[in-house]
Amino acid sequence: MIYVICGKPGDGKSQYAVSLLLALSKENKRIAEKIQAGETLKPKEEIRPLYADIDGLKLDGVDVAPKDWRDTPDGAIIFYDEVHYRKEYEDLTGKYSQDPMIKELSTHRHQNKDLYLITQDAKRLERSVRGLVDAMYYVKRPQNKPPFATIYTFDKFYNDPAAASNAKKEHDSKMFKFKDEYQALYESASAHTSMSFKVQRKFIYAGIAILIMMGFAIKLFLASGFIDLAKKATDTDAIKSIGKVPEAKDSEKSPISETANLSSNSANVSAANDPEGTRIAMVISTDKECIARNGYGEVIEHNTLNCFNYANKPSLYMSSSRNPKMTYDQDKEVISEQQL
């Protein structure tokens, strides 16, 4: 099969080719170890001879590529770097080449050979070769030269792979990260890993502007005193909640207590203006409470002991002409009798 690796100088096309060579070399070693161990190989497992003419390549198991690809054994994989400088592969006349080396590329599959043609400019590749390309890899690195590039894979040859990638015509794409491991295996006109990653100025300015605005917003927030106000409000609520006395539930109030509350005000008024308002005319008692009422039916103030004594002596409840008027000493809690 014939593959084309295309990209501008410094975009990483040679390093990408070296990464492919390294993977092929490791695969050959794995198969060799399997053979030495006496293991059975799978149908497609075979050691394939590797050739390349990349400047300064230092990779075990890879030999220098001959000028004529036909001089390699069957099953060979050959990498030609900057192939557009080879006159046999360059489109010089605008016509199909009559060179036997180029014409026989159409039969390379019979020998199970793969060729990787690396070039800066796809349009310079010989016309008959273009039609034999099985896949094309376009290496595109961002303008600020970060340590990575995007590999666009096309299933056919394009004269302008950059335009094809912009038009989303690629079959697949992936990110390729530059590594010291690859860079150390060859000599490149552009040391990719040594290039500093330059951030465009517009992103730097945008970041600075965002930081300034965030700092200004925080300063305004602190100066507004909002935090102090919130703290004071919280403290006030806490004080109110501590000093608040819980009210008794309606279910906990006794009928007698409710009656006493309803009549207390009117009793005080009557007692002040009329002696009859201070005379106990009747009492209502339970095991825990005792309420006294005057002749008007109003609740009056009373000594608890006197109230319970009245409750235990019904004979004391007589008409006003015979009924002694009961008074009490709040300090001594004793009953006294006076004839009306």
Average pLDDT over residues 155-183: 95
Chain segment 281-339, per-residue pLDDT in tens:
777 878 778 888 887 778 877 677 777 777 777 665 544 334 444 444 444 444 444 43
Q: What is the pLDDT of residue 77?
A: 98
CA distance 337 to 294: 17
Average pLDDT over residues 94-117: 93
Tokens standing for residue 336: 């006294």
Q: What is the pLDDT of residue 281?
A: 76
Chain segment 261-292, per-residue pLDDT in tens:
544 554 454 445 666 777 777 778 787 788 88
Helix-strand-coil split of the chain, %, nearest 5: 40, 15, 40
Element (H, E) at 338: strand 335-338
Reported pTM:
0.58
Tokens standing for residue 76: 């060979």
Percent of the chain beyond pLDDT 90?
Answer: 51
Residue type at position 157: F
Q: What is the pLDDT of residue 91?
A: 92
In the chain, the domains with their CATH numbers are 2-194 (3.40.50.300), 253-338 (no CATH)
Q: What is the pLDDT of residue 188?
A: 73
More reliable by pLDDT, 181 or 196: 181
Q: What is the mean pLDDT of the chain?
A: 80
Chain segment 208-218, per-residue pLDDT in tens:
888 888 887 88
Q: Please check the confidence at residue 198 and state whether its pLDDT lies above 60.
A: no
CA nearest to 81, candidates 14, 28, 170, 162: 14
Q: Running DSSP on this structure, what letter comes out for residue 15?
A: H
Do 267 and 300 meet the contact criterion of CB atoms below 8 Å apart?
A: yes
Q: Please check the confidence at residue 200 and state whether its pLDDT lies above 90.
A: no
Q: What is the pLDDT of residue 82?
A: 94
CA distance 162 to 297: 107
Q: Please check the confidence at residue 186 and state whether its pLDDT lies above 70.
A: yes
Q: What is the DSSP string of 217-246?
A: HHHHHHHTTHHHHHHHHHHHHHHHHHHPPP
Average pLDDT over residues 117-126: 95
Read off φ and ψ for residue 314, nearest 5 degrees: -60, -20
Please name the residues in contact with 61: beta carbons below 8 A apart, sequence gap of 6 or more.
25, 28, 29, 50
Average pLDDT over residues 44-53: 96
Please name the residues in contact with 230: beta carbons below 8 A apart, sequence gap of 6 or more.
none
Tokens standing for residue 81: 């770097």
Average pLDDT over residues 57-61: 93
Q: Please check the confidence at residue 194 and state whether its pLDDT lies above 80.
A: no
Helices (H), 274-334: 304-312
CA nearest to 2, candidates 134, 200, 126: 134
